[in-house]
Amino acid sequence: MHRSTLEDYLDKKNKLFDYFTFSSNLFAESDLDNLLSLNELIELKNSVDNKIPSRGKQVELKDLVLNNELKFNSITQASLYIKKIEGTCDRGVLRNHMNNNTIFKKRWILKET
């Protein structure tokens, strides 16, 4: 659960306790097989690749001038790369070029992978 969601529930009196129970002690009816230690929880968190956004579309960017292909985890990352070279790059315009399979600024071809 995201921190802001939890804070929303904590702000509403008694609503939180319909869904969650917080305790520093084990409950008598606890199923010990389903509990995670702190180390297991940290290991699980670290096993998730946070570099790949869950909603992002992976894209392939082909540079026609340098004749190379680069892969990015999102259209935002691709646009930031182009922006470093070109000085400007609008994600919406870039997305339109990708959807219409056209060349962006006479140099870039973007494909969804």
Tens-place pLDDT, residues 9-43: 666 555 545 555 556 777 777 777 766 677 776 77
The gap from C-alpha 57 to its chain's centroid, in whole angstroms, comes to 10
Write the Ramachandran bin of 87: left for phi over 0, alpha for psi from -120 to 50, otherwise beta.
Answer: left
Tens-place pLDDT, residues 62-78: 999 999 999 998 899 99
